[in-house]
Structure 1
Amino acid sequence: QTKISVFPRKSLVLPMLKHLFSGHTVYPSEDVIRQQESFSAIHIPHQIRRMTNMEILSHVKVSHGGMELIAVGQLLKLRKLGVVIHDTDKDGFDSLLHVIGKLNKCLRSLSVQIRSPSAADGSNGFDMSMMYSTYPRLLESLTICGIKSGLPPWIEHLHQLTKVTLHDTSLTESAIHVLGKLVGLRYLRLRHRSYVRGDLTISTREFKNLRFLFIEGPDIVSISFDEGAAPRLERMVWRFTRMVSLVGIGHLLSIRELELEGDCDLEKIGVILRDIKAHPNDPSLKHIPAAGN
């Protein structure tokens, strides 16, 4: 949470440094549901190639062309990488894909954020599918923000992937089915503009091991769970600006906590409350009205 954007050109080299975190997030208003936060990160240190013990580098900003990423590809102990790229920097994005390929045997966590002047834009031109043969096979956590070309096709082969966070990805229903087949997935966060349809359906026999589901933003207004869907889901948080319906709570065999944040018809809350009371697990229901109401 500092506003530092760059180290001095002749910055100190810390060869034993293992963890470097940076980034500054600003919320334009208290209502984080309706307003998109702005995020900044620091440029990659000039002497990063000498910091061979680096294990965590998150988040760093890629300058145009991404030449400094070449050195990052030499950090073979790196297990967590978070990168911010401008939406016009196609060369920088291609350099990032090359680096991820070189680190495919050590990376456990990857966050790629594409930034544009307009928060509603995102990039259709960036595509992670081109690194199909060198994807990070041991990845456990994946965050994608601002890439609208769909999920990378190699995601279905990430058998150790447990956490996925999506933001400004404009996914279709078919992508949700792909995520639903990831047997290792435990945590799923669908943030602002991650899904293009207003209704989200979790289908039968999908998300078999999901424990936590977080949904945020004005796009999704209806959620339904088919019978046999997400049998191990224990906690669900839904932050919305408008809720039309929430159906199928009774189908969630392991549900323990349900949190709803936003303004909605109290009658709908009543319907949900009846489903909660009828559930054999006696799950808790928490409703938080939108800020300022």
Structure 2
Amino acid sequence: MSFITKRWRQFVANRVGQHVESGSFQENLDTFKACFLTSYHRHKRHIPVTPENKALLEDTSELDAEMTRMSYLKQKTVVRKDVHGQVLDLFKFVHELGGMDPYPQPLNPAKEESFEAELDQVTRHTEQGVHVKGHILPGTVHFPYTLNENAIKGNNYMYGRYDGVVVDGRDWERKAFAARRLQTRLERVGQSIKDEKTLLRFRNPFGIAQYINHPPGGKQPNVMCVGYEFPNTFPDELKPYIPHEHVKEPNIFFNTMTDCYIRSIMCIATRHITDEELFLNYRYNPINPYPDWYVQPDVAEAERRWKKPKALANPFW
């Protein structure tokens, strides 16, 4: 068990039973965890991951003190700021490359973390998975999760945010293939696609999180999801690389009143990850029958996630 996992379980054990255990309580726990992880990444990202630095990397005393003084709203602000900074770095890197087809080529290493991630064939229910080559520091943002609000029964590529937005990554690879094929056919006859920017969202090599598998029996998740809103101020030259599309275009008030260009989900590492497959807890509702392949890694967490609050409660930080 990693030192971060131990730290997290101690924290949850201290909090459970003290507050109303509902979806909002689990959201608070997730916010604290995301804040701890992204702050850890910010504090430790420049320290080489070597045996000699093990004690330094595992020392979170300064971070613990910082977190205990931080309110819930402050935690959300910290997560948003840290994730936004990493997202900007990722997209600038993709823009410098001019985009890259993530199928089936591996992701290029990020500038400050030495890792690659690629789609691998696996033998479980999804037939594909995302495998890391190299090392990822806890709190590292990996990939934006493809956004689509068309939730359909039997879809294993959906993930729900706490604000009710449904993320659907199904068929994104098929759409990317169709777009590339159309481009190739037009080029053969000396034509081009009218709006080439529409192709760029399929050329973001970090947009493959929909292929991260749920952990099989005996495994635990090593990434978690956090909600992220691409702001209207997101650089115009980077917006075409956002691997998302709305099922229905939002009205004018959505962008002007919320300062939100499009809503998304990001996956961040929950521990040190070296040369292994990424796993995300899909958190299926325990009141519904599970698919045959689904193993619940944390029953208490799932029950808190889907439990309706009995009454409104103030955040406990």
Q: TM-score range by the shorter chain?
A: under 0.3
Ranked by relative contact order (alpha carbons within 8 Å, sequence separation 6 or more), the top structure is 2
TM-score by length of 1: 0.27
Q: Which structure has more helix as a fraction of its residues?
A: 2
TM-score by length of 2: 0.25
